[in-house]
Structure 1
Amino acid sequence: MRKVVSNFIYIFIGALLMTACGGDTPNTSVLEAPEMINSDPANGAKGLPSGNIIVVLTYNQNVTSPSSEHGKVTLGNASITTVSAVLTKVTIQASGLEKGTDYQLIIPKGVILGPTKLEAPRVSITFSTLAKQSIENVLCTSNPSTQSVKVYNFLKDNFGEKLISGTMANVNWNVNEAEWVYKHTGKYPALNAFDFVHLYASPANWIDYGNTTVIENWWNNNGLVVATWHWNVPQSEGSNDYGFYYTGKNNGTGETSFDITKAIQNSTPENLRVKADLDKIADYLLLLKAKNIPVIWRPMHEASGGWFWWGAKGAAPFKALWKLMFDTFKEKGVDNLIWVWTAQTGDNEWYPGNEYVDIVSCDIYNKTLVSEIKGEYLNLVQAYPNKIITLSECGNVANISSQWNGGAAWSWFMPWYDYNRTKDVSDVAFNETSHIYANIDWWTDALGQSVVLTRDQMPSLK
C-alpha cells in the first residue's frame, strides 16, 4: 500500500510541475529561480531612439509579475508605463527618454516570479539614446513653396521621435496598398508614394498624370505625398518599346541600351530625350504646385546598384544627370519638391551633394536581423549627419517594433507593393491578409506602436 501511495505522490508532483511549466517553457527545473537569458534591446546597446521604448526580456521559464511590484522598476528619468509578463517574455514600456542619454533599466529581485513563486534575481540593462542631430534647417530648393517648407519642418521635427508609416502605389497612380492596409487594420498609412513610371505614355486613356485627383484627395486628407520615377526610355534609338533596366545588368535581363554618358552630352539623341522628359515631368509637377501640393521627390533610386540605366556607367554621369534635373526644375519654377537621394552600402561617391539633397534614404529587402538593419541606418547617420534618414523601400524585413527598439529610427518606412494582392480593390485577392513584402501581421505590429504615425494622426500642413 505504501508503494502505491508513493507512486501516486510522485505522479501528482510530476503533473503539478508540468502544469506549472506550460507548453512553451524551456526544459529547465522550475525549482530554480528564473533567469533572464536575453533582452531586446541588448545590454550595452547604443544609438537607440529617444521618446518611447519597449524592452523585452526573455527568461528560461514561464514567469509572472505581480502588479504590486511594477512600481519598483526604474529607468533613470524616464517613466515606466507598463510591465507585463506572458509565458517566458516580460515586456516593459517606457516613455520620456531623452536624446544622447545613458540609461540603466533596473528590475529588482522579486518583481519577476517563476511558476513556483521563486523570485528572479535583480536585472540591470544599460543602453544609450542617439544624440540629437543637427539637421539642415532649409531645403536645397531656393525659395521653396510654403507647403514644402511645412512638410520638411514636420519631418525634421519628428525625426528620431516618431516614425511615419507609408505605402507604395500599385505600379503608378493609386492608393490601393493604403486601402488594403486600411481594410485590414482600420488605419491609413500617413504617406503614399506614387510613380511616374509611364511618363512616356501619358496622357492616354489608361494613364494620365494630368489627372491629379487621387493625389489631391490624399493630400486633402492630410496624407504626405511621395513621388518616384522609374524612368522609362527607348530600348534602342528609334524604338517604340521602353524600359529602365540596363542591358547586360540585372542578371542579363536588361531592357534598354540607353547610355547615360551620352544623355549628359549636349545635342545627342539621348540628351534630347532626357531633356524632353524632364520638361514633361516638370509640367506635371507644376500642376501639383498650382494646387499647393508639396512632393517628397525620390528620382533615380538605387543608382549605384547598376541595374538601372541611370546608374549603369558609374557615379560621375549619374551626378551630372541629377544636377541637370535639379537645374531644369529650378528654371521651370518647380519649387514644391523635397529631394530624396537613395543610398546603398558604401556608395558615398554617388552622393549628389548637400546643395542637391534634402533627405537620404535606403531600400532594404530580405533582412530580418535587426543588427543588420540598424547597421545600415547608423552608417547613413554617420555619413550624412545633417540629413534626415529614411527607409524609402522595404520588404520582408524585421518588424517595425524591433527596428525602432533596436535603434533604427527612420523618418518613415514604406513596404513595396504586391501586384497580385492589390491590383484590383474589388478582387477577392484584396480580402486576403498575406503579402509578398509585408503581411497584415507585420502591419499590425507597425501600426500598434505609439511612435508610428498614421494618417488620422497627421496635422494639416497646408
Structure 2
Amino acid sequence: MKHTLVTALVLVVQLSLAQKSIPADPNATEETVNLCKNLMKLQHERLMFGHQDDLAYGNGWVYEEGRSDVKDVCGDYPAVYGWELGHLELGDTYSLDSVHFHKIQGWIKQTYARGGVNTISWHLRNPLTGGSSWDTSSKKVVRSVLPGGEKHELFVTYLDRLAEFLQGLQTEDGTYIPVLFRPFHEHTGSWFWWGKNLCTPEDYKALWRFTVNYLQNEKNIHHVLYSYSTDRFKTTNEYLERYPGDDIVDVLAFDLYDRGPDYAKAVKTCAEVVCEQAGQRNKLATMSETGGPIATNTKWWTETLLGTLKPFDLSYVLVWRNPWKPAGHGAFAPYKNSPDSEDFIRFYKDPKTLFQKEVTQLKLYQ
C-alpha cells in the first residue's frame, strides 16, 4: 500500500511538471507551443546541428541562393540556423556582419517553410556611450537603460525596432514564425556592456525582465522562445546567479569555445549543470554557441565535440559563422575541401546528430 502511494505521488509530481507552462509565455502562439514541446521530446534522443549565417555567406562566397558551406560538404543543411541582429537597433539596413536585415527575414521564412529552427542573437550597441557591444568603459550602462535611467527612452527605441523585425516574421497567411532569442548572452564574462563585472545581478535580471515584458505586453510578441545563455562557468550557483526566472525563460544554454586543453572538461561541467537544471525546471537545454580549431584538429567534430556532448540531453549545438571577408577568426564550420571535411561527414552520419532533411520530416511546428 505504501509503495503504491509513493508511486502515485511520483506520478502526480511528474504530471505537474509536464503541465507547467511550455513555453513560459502563457499567450504563446500555437506554432511556438508546438515547437517548444517537440524540441523538449527530441532533446532526449537527438542533437540538432546549427550554424550561424549558414545561408547568407561562407568561405569565399556571399549571397548565393541555396548555397551553404555545410551543404557543400555533407549534402544537407543544418537543422538550426543562427542569425545576428546587431545594428538593427540603429535603424541600419544591414547587420554588424554586413547582412541585410530583409534578407535575414527571408531566410528565416525559408527555414521555417522547410521545418528548420531559427535562433537569434543581438550584439546591440552600447546605449550610454554609443560604442559597440564590446564597449565596457562604463559600469552604468545597464542601470541607465532601466526605467528611470537616462538612456531608458533610447533603449525603448531599440526594443521597438527589434519588435518591428519580429512582427515581420510572418508567412503569407499571417502565421507568426517562432524563433529562439538569446538576449544579453555570455554575461558570466565581462566583454559586453551587460557582463558580470559591469552590472549587479539584480540589474541584469531587471534588464532581462523589462525586455521580455516589454516585447510581450507592449508589443504583443508571442512567437519567441527566450534563451538564457551564459559563457563558461564552474558551479550551479555561478550559472544561476543572474537567472531572471522560470516565468520568462524557455531555454537554458551556454556558449563555450575550444581555446585549449581544458575544453572537454569545461563542456562537461557546463552541460551537466545546464541539463540538470533544464530537467528540474522543464526547460530546453542547448549549447548555443561554440567553435574549435577545425583547421588543425581534423577530428574535432567526432572526437572533441560529439564525443563530449553525446551523453547529454541537449536540443542543439550551434557553431559560429564562416566569414566571407577577414573577421579576426577563421571558419567554424566545414567548407568544400576543408581539412576537417571527412570528419564532419562522419559527424553528420552519426545516429546522434540531426540535420535539415530529417528535421523536415519531424514537423516540429505541428
Shorter-chain-normalised TM-score: which range? Answer: 0.7 to 0.9
Residue 125 (structure 2) aligns with:
232
Which structure is larger by alpha-carbon Rg, 1 or 2?
Answer: 1
Q: Which runs of 4+ in 1 moved over 3 A?
A: 134-137, 175-178, 200-203, 205-208, 367-372, 397-401, 420-423, 429-432
Would the aligned equivalents of 1:373 and 1:408 in 2 still touch at CA under 8 Å?
A: no
The residue aligned with 1:349 is: 241
Is 1:322 matched up with 2:208? yes
**Structure 1, unpaired ranges of 5+:** 1-133, 249-255, 424-428
Q: What is the alpha-carbon distance in structure 1 between the residues aligned to residue 23 and residue 141 of structure 2? A: 31
1:403 — aligned with what? 308
Match of 1:413 among 300, 317, 323: 317
Verify: 1:433 aligned to 2:325, yes or no.
Answer: no
Give me the whole-angstrom Cα distance separating, in 2, the residues matched to 1:190 and 1:421. Answer: 25
Gaps of 5+ in 2: 1-16, 60-66, 293-299, 328-333
Q: TM-score, normalised by structure 2?
A: 0.75
The separation in 2 between residues aligned to 1:452 and 1:422, in whole angstroms, is 30
- In the alignment, does 2:164 pair up with 1:283? yes
Letter in 2 for 1:260: V
CA distance in 1, matches of 2:345, 2:128: 42
Identical residues among aligned pairs (%): 19
In the TM superposition, 1:289-300 aligns within 5 A as 289=170, 290-300=174-184
* 1:183 aligned counterpart, secondary structure: helix
Name the residue aligned to 2:220: 333
Alignment-mate amino acid for residue 101 of structure 2: Y
Q: Give the aligned partner of residue 259 of structure 1.
A: 141
Deviation of the 1:298 alpha carbon: 1.0
Give RMSD over aligned pairs: 3.0
More helix by share: 2
Q: 1 or 2, which has the higher strand percentage? A: 1
**8 Å contact from structure 2 (residues 57, 322) kept in 1:** no
One-letter code of the match for 1:225? N
User: In the alignment, is residue 197 of structure 1 matched against residue 102 of structure 2?
Assistant: no
**Inter-partner Cα distance in structure 2 for 1:395 and 1:159:** 21
- Structure 1 residue 442, shift from structure 2 partner: 4.7
Match in the other structure for 2:290: 394
- Asked if residue 274 in structure 1 is aligned to residue 155 in structure 2, the reply is yes
Q: Secondary structure at the match of 2:182?
A: strand
Post-superposition Cα deviations, 1:354-384, rounded to whole Å, max 9, x if no partner, equal 0010110011111666444222211223344
Tell me the CA shift for residue 322 of structure 1.
0.6
Between 176-185 and 386-395, report the one with greater CA deviation.
176-185
Does structure 2 conserve the Cα–Cα contact (< 8 Å) formed by 1:167 and 1:416?
yes
- 1:147-226 to 2 correspondence within 5 Å? 147-169=31-53, 174=56, 176=58, 179-204=68-93, 208-211=100-103, 212-226=105-119
Return the letter of the residue paired with 2:222: D
Of structures 1 and 2, the one with the larger relative CO (CA 8 A, separation 6+) is 2
Report how many residues are paired: 307
Whole-angstrom distance in 1 between the partners of 2:81 and 2:326: 14
Deviations 1:203-237 (A, max 9, x none): 5377553452121112112111111111123572x
